[in-house]
Amino acid sequence: MSEEFAAAGAGVTGSGPLKGVTVLDITRVVAGPFCSMLLADLGATVIKVEHPDDPDYARTFPPFVSADDREFSAFFAQYNRNKLGITLNMKSAEGKALLRKLVRRADVLVENFRPGTMDRLGLGYEVLKKENPRLIYTAISGFGRTGPNASRPAFDNTGQAAGGLWSMNGYADRPPVRVGTIIGDLAASLYAAIGTLAALREAERGGEGQVVDVSQQDSVLTLTENAVVRYTTEGDVASPLGNDHPFVRPYGQFPCKDGYVFFGGYTDKFWRITCELFGAPEFADDPEIDTMEKRFDREVAERRVKPLLEGWFSKYSKAELEELAGDRIPLSAIKTIAEVVEDPHITARDMIVKVPVAGKLVRMFGLPIKLSGTPGNACAKAPGPGEHNTFVYSRLVGLTPEEVGKLAEDGVI
């Protein structure tokens, strides 16, 4: 699409490194919306497509912001900021035709339906690439588009379970625990964004689009650190370790006066500095714990190293320990979300931004990708269902306002 259209995006798009890239986002909830949100924050014109009678049900997810006796989801706003919003019934013949026309002017389409759904609608990649050979078709699903499990339904927890991460999390004497966030959805969206950018680069070079196929299970599997090679080389099946690392020690959670800190001073350099900082330099030369390899031994770590650290840390608060550690040893307070949101460093990094929700400014996480020359922007609001119907359909498809109104009356948009 032309940069002129991108720049006209009602204050939503038009700046950043992806200026001029147009994305049709027909996803819902998080695995997909997060991917397209990242593209939008980086300047792409992202058009969120929702069914006129069944919009993204993430609009019903808490927390809510109230205005004019209505509630608006801040959850939805966080993952759909910076987007234009249109409605479209892709099950109707007219709706299918409209999507094909939109695809002609788009660079990317992102979907997170179960594999085969778009084909059954007559809108699969093989159909859409005839409308636009340069189209990048990014598909996010639980198990991917190939393999014996491709057709299975999936949620975030499916990815955590099937990808092995769930079995590794928690404590050894208790049942496994899911990771405390939707890591399957988030990881898949991140890989989808990376794949989309790679495919865009290839389309620029060769003129051909392609499918970007991302699975939640695949994505979670790559987050299991050394579990795969431990199994394939040693037959060791990873199991819950609580806050411990499989082999690196000391490297974990330690209590202090007002909470907990993470300490990772396992190298000989950091261990020596730590002993000096806490007024006990002799332990850096203690023959039982003077090398990294000796401290890796679980029995030695539990009997000698852990009691030393707990004794030192117990005399200080989280803030005092961070101050003491400074830039010399890897020690960080284990912060609550409240503490993170109010963290001066997070503020300095522009990682808490104010986005309009129902006329009020709501603080939410910002864009973690910092570009020195063409920075992104994460501050524009999320659209209402069909908010930009007239704007988008007139610019991309050439419809008049009257034609747009007629399509709305007929339930097509």
Model confidence over 6-32: pLDDT tens digits?
A: 444 444 555 799 999 999 999 999 999
* 141 contacts: CB under 8 Å, gap ≥ 6: 112, 113, 114, 115, 150, 154, 214, 215, 216
Are 116 and 126 in contact, with CB atoms under 8 Å apart? no
Nearest residue to 109 (alpha-carbon basis) of 77, 87, 90, 137: 137
Is omega for the bond preceding 63 within 30 degrees of 0, making it cis? yes
Residue 253's DSSP bridge partners are: 262
Are 128 and 210 in contact, with CB atoms under 8 Å apart? no
What was the pLDDT predicted at 45?
A: 97
What was the pLDDT predicted at 13?
A: 53
* 161 contacts: CB under 8 Å, gap ≥ 6: 167
* 305 contacts: CB under 8 Å, gap ≥ 6: 249, 250, 289, 295
Amino acid at 368: P
Residues of the chain with pLDDT under 50: 1-2, 4, 6-11
What was the pLDDT predicted at 10?
A: 41
Strands 360-365 and 352-357 turn out to be: antiparallel
What was the pLDDT predicted at 67?
A: 87
- C-alpha to C-alpha distance for 71 and 209, rounded to whole angstroms: 40
What was the pLDDT predicted at 337?
A: 97
Are 136 and 103 in contact, with CB atoms under 8 Å apart? no
What was the pLDDT predicted at 279?
A: 97
What was the pLDDT predicted at 14?
A: 59
Q: Which burial class, exposed, middle or buried, applies to 11 when counting CB atoms under 10 A from its CB (0-12, 13-18, 19+)?
A: exposed
Nearest residue to 138 (alpha-carbon basis) of 4, 34, 20: 34
What's the chain's length in residues? 413
What was the pLDDT predicted at 69?
A: 84
Helix axes 183-206, 33-41, angle to 10 degrees: 50
Are 44 and 374 in contact, with CB atoms under 8 Å apart? no
Are 90 and 96 in contact, with CB atoms under 8 Å apart? yes
Q: How many helices (H) and strands (E) does the chain have?
A: 20, 13
Q: What pLDDT, in 10s, does the model give residues 190-234? A: 999 999 999 999 999 999 999 999 999 999 999 999 999 999 999
Are 218 and 149 in contact, with CB atoms under 8 Å apart? no
Are 353 and 364 in contact, with CB atoms under 8 Å apart? yes
Q: Which residues are catalytic?
A: 185
Nearest residue to 183 (alpha-carbon basis) of 156, 161, 162: 156
Rg for the chain, CA atoms, rounded: 25
- C-alpha to C-alpha distance for 305 and 321, rounded to whole angstroms: 18
What was the pLDDT predicted at 4?
A: 46
What was the pLDDT predicted at 15?
A: 79
Residue 331's DSSP bridge partners are: 263
Helix (H, G, I), strand (E, B) or coil at 27: coil
Q: What is the pTM of this model?
A: 0.93
